[in-house]
């Protein structure tokens, strides 16, 4: 019955209208930072699999960590000097900052908690519901992208036709962080996905944070 379905009761309409505060008109959502165990494996995933480019990096041996900024940039647009790369990066919306703490690559197993029903780093070994959920990547064709990901041996937690929400997918990066694969247009479906699951199969919804 409809009465059993929770209803959204918060009116958020005012946040979709009106001008931004004048002081914030040039603000950019520039980056999300995640810690990674092995920078080479992470760079291979984000650059070779997702097609991002390394637009800037900084090394801080005195503090034993490096940062690598990746983004869906055109190689020809990336400046040649560190100073110009910094400016380019800080003005590029939606970068991902991969932070590597020296020595983490030598650890056995997972190092960082992904926030989605993950027991990594907990003292009692119990899974926790963290605040981080996923990074979202939109593509022209979700099904074609997932066929390619499968050929590249990417780990899926949801293929396009599995689960209750059809036409989108979730894959994992080398550290287990979830990457949502979304269409750049309408949420369309295809009869069969990369795992051979029919669009009318794979019913149900799984909340990975639980």
CA distance 32 to 135: 9
Our measurement of the distance from residue 40's CA atom to the centroid of its chain's CA atoms, rounded to an integer in Å, reads 17
Residue with tokens 């949420």: 187
**Residue 153 near residue 174 (C-beta atoms within 8 A):** no
Residue in 100, 55, 99 with CA at minimum distance from that of residue 79: 55
Catalytic-role residue among 4, 44, 97, 180? 180
Cα–Cα separations (whole angstroms), residue 126 to 7, 110, 113, 129, 176: 31, 15, 12, 10, 17
Determine which helix (DSSP H) or strand (DSSP E) holds 36, and give its type and residue range.
strand 31-36
Per the CB < 8 A criterion, the answer to whether 156 and 150 are in contact is yes
Q: Determine whether 83 is an active site residue.
A: no
Q: Which residues are catalytic?
A: 180
């Amino acid at each position: 019955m409809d009465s059993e379905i929770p209803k959204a009761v918060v009116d958020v309409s005012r946040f979709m209208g009106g001008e931004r505060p004048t002081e914030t008109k040039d603000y950019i959502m520039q980056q999300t930072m995640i810690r990674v165990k092995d920078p080479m494996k992470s760079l291979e995933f984000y650059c070779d699999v997702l097609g991002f480019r390394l637009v800037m990096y900084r090394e801080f041996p005195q503090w034993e960590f490096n940062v690598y900024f990746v983004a869906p940039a055109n190689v020809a647009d990336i400046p040649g000097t560190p100073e110009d790369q910094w400016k380019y990066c800080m003005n590029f919306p939606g970068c991902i900052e991969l932070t590597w703490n020296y020595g983490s690559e030598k650890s056995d197993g997972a190092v960082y908690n992904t926030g989605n029903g993950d027991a990594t780093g907990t003292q009692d070994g119990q899974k926790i519901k963290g605040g981080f959920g996923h990074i979202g990547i939109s593509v022209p064709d979700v099904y074609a992208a997932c066929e390619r990901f499968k050929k590249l041996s990417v780990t899926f937690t949801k293929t396009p036709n599995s689960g209750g929400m059809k036409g989108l997918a979730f894959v994992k990066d080398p550290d287990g962080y979830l990457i949502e694969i979304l269409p750049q247009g309408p949420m369309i479906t295809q009869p069969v996905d990369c795992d051979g699951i029919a669009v009318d199969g794979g019913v149900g919804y799984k909340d990975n944070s639980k």
